[in-house]
């Protein structure tokens, strides 16, 4: 999921957050200046996600777990999908029943199925933070500058071979649907057909919330697994603006969803962008776990 | 695994690498100055790893996969362990046979089993990069400022309940063993006993390489799973200094190890530190996947 494709107010908050960190804005690089590659450095989170064996194998491992779960779950034919039913809360979720609907898995696109190498390169080399106009141009012209996330091609191939549909739910723009279909094809992850197996921002309901699209898909399919790199790829409930950082983590990790991770809901690790990159010291480091280096005693 | 616990030469390279990025060194904060928490921001990778639902659920998912694999593998009683045998290469691995040895899993400690919240807080709030002397003080005094990685307590409890031993292999110092035992206890992950179920830097052989300790453990135990946050937690072959960034990723993701991730080898996502945070533009972004924003055409 690409985070910037949200409301203008949220985008403004994000711009501030991104400026306050520096994963995407090396301090020594003028913003939007045509810097040369040699003049700056790659943000560490991009090194990890796109360049490291650690990031690559984390993706491979998540896709192996997804594939194994999907093939196993398909044989068992569950009563319920993994999509939350209307009226669910974080404390009290219910799931859309499967009835006799055909089986499907639902995935986010960006940094879940594909690596947006071209866009991230451009952002890093310019020392620019997320720019929604530039991202829109990327959607329309970048379809041959992507790569699959490690493990995705093999997992989706095995899932389709078992007769299970693969459906994408992305906050890319519906107006650019043909280009996103092409990007998924280029990455070896297609076919995806807009309105059938590809749902985008502008489809079903306006806005960046993914719940209306999930509900539409779950009305027609028995969704036995979802994959994403952001909690919003599983439920919009995690994106409530009033949810503090620590409570958001606890709701995902300790609540009734704890047993779903790796068991119907599959998280791809993305430290480069997203609503997870939020919080001050009081949000991230509990008071009772702080330590102050006593220094040398000699 | 903590990266700085390496040779002085490597530590020097690391210091430069860390300085070149800014995930751990906010540019606006004087280094080692007693900054207040309010005066600076939390590095984005720490927000993701320690504070986000995304990072928390990625850990939960990895531990679920580890637990399920271990319980399944124990029933099947494999012929081979998941520890590489002497003479293995990245292209041609062989594994230590299990024979009739008792079953065990082997885990790294830092950012694999425990979150070093106290140390990371101190590093971030001071705007300091990794400091091996400070880390040594942390090992000796920080044992009550840690937390378990999400999912670790439950997974290790289930593994031990099945009669499978849990063994830690860490580059913390053998001289501080009692403190590391206490940290693991405090996090709910013990018991760990130095020389029996806890192996540290200085044990078996000098240096930060973990292969000699792995070999010693695999000589006595049938190791059916390993977990870590760095490739060096699985084999020192991945730490060869001559291995370029891209080849290191390919060796882990595409080579004969591809089928092991999530199936004997379990990667915890850690974008905060480690040898994965390395590489320039040419290492991270393939030439044929670059894109340059064409800008507005109006």
3-class secondary structure, A56: helix
Beta carbons of A23 and B43 less than 8 Å apart? yes
Beta carbons of B281 and A37 less than 8 Å apart? yes
Element (H, E) at A69: helix A53-76
Beta carbons of A249 and B134 less than 8 Å apart? no
- Closest Cβ–Cβ partner in A270, A280, A289 for B117: A289
Beta carbons of A42 and B279 less than 8 Å apart? yes
Interface subset of A 195-234, CB within 8 angstroms of B: 229-231
Q: Which residues, in sequence order, are CB contacts of A68 under 8 Å at separation 6+?
A: none
- Judge whether A20 is closer than 8 Å to chain B, CB to CB: yes
Beta carbons of B125 and A271 less than 8 Å apart? no
ipTM field: 0.89
The tens-digit pLDDT sequence of chain A (298 residues) is 554 433 333 333 333 333 333 333 233 322 333 444 443 799 999 999 999 999 999 999 999 999 999 999 999 999 999 999 999 999 999 999 999 999 999 999 999 999 999 999 999 999 999 999 999 999 999 999 999 999 999 999 999 999 999 999 999 999 999 999 999 999 999 999 999 999 999 999 999 999 999 999 999 999 999 999 999 999 999 999 899 999 999 999 998 999 999 999 999 999 999 999 999 999 999 999 999 999 976 4
Let me know: does A78 contact A87? Beta carbons within 8 Å: no
pTM: 0.89
Min Cα–Cα distance to chain B from A208, Å: 18
Strands A147-148 and A95-97, by their bridges, are unpaired
Nearest chain A residue to B294 by CA: give it: A137
Nearest chain A residue to B253 by CA: give it: A57
Determine the pLDDT at residue B87: 96
Determine the pLDDT at residue B255: 87
Q: Average the pLDDT over each of A223-227, A277-281, B31-35, B110-114 and give the range with the smallest value.
A: B31-35
- Closest Cβ–Cβ partner in A52, A253, A277 for B249: A52
């Amino acid at each position: 999921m690409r985070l910037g494709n949200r409301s203008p107010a949220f985008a403004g908050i994000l711009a501030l957050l991104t400026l306050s960190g520096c994963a995407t804005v090396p301090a020594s690089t003028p913003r939007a200046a045509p810097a040369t590659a040699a003049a700056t450095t790659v943000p560490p989170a991009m090194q990890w996600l796109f360049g490291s064996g650690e990031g690559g194998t984390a993706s491979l491992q998540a896709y192996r777990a997804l594939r194994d779960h999907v093939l196993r779950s398909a044989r068992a034919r569950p009563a319920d999908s993994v999509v939350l039913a209307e009226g669910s809360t974080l404390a009290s979720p219910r799931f859309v029943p499967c009835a006799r609907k055909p089986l499907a898995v639902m995935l986010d696109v960006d940094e879940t199925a594909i690596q947006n190498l071209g866009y991230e390169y451009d952002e890093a080399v310019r020392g620019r933070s997320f720019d929604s106009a530039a991202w829109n141009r990327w959607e329309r012209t970048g379809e041959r500058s992507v790569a699959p996330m490690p493990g995705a091609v093999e997992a989706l191939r095995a899932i389709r071979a078992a007769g299970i549909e693969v459906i994408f739910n992305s906050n890319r723009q519906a107006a650019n649907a043909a280009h996103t279909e092409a990007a998924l094809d280029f990455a070896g992850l297609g076919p995806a057909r807009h309105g059938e197996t590809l749902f985008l921002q502008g489809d079903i309901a306006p806005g960046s919330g993914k719940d209306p699209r999930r509900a539409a898909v779950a009305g027609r399919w028995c969704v036995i697994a979802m994959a994403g790199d952001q909690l919003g790829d599983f439920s919009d409930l995690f994106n409530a603006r009033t949810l503090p950082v620590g409570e958001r983590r606890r709701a995902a990790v300790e609540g009734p969803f704890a047993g779903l991770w790796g068991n119907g809901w599959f998280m791809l690790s993305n430290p480069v962008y997203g609503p997870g990159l939020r919080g001050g010291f009081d949000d991230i480091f509990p008071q009772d776990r702080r330590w102050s280096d006593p220094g040398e005693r000699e």
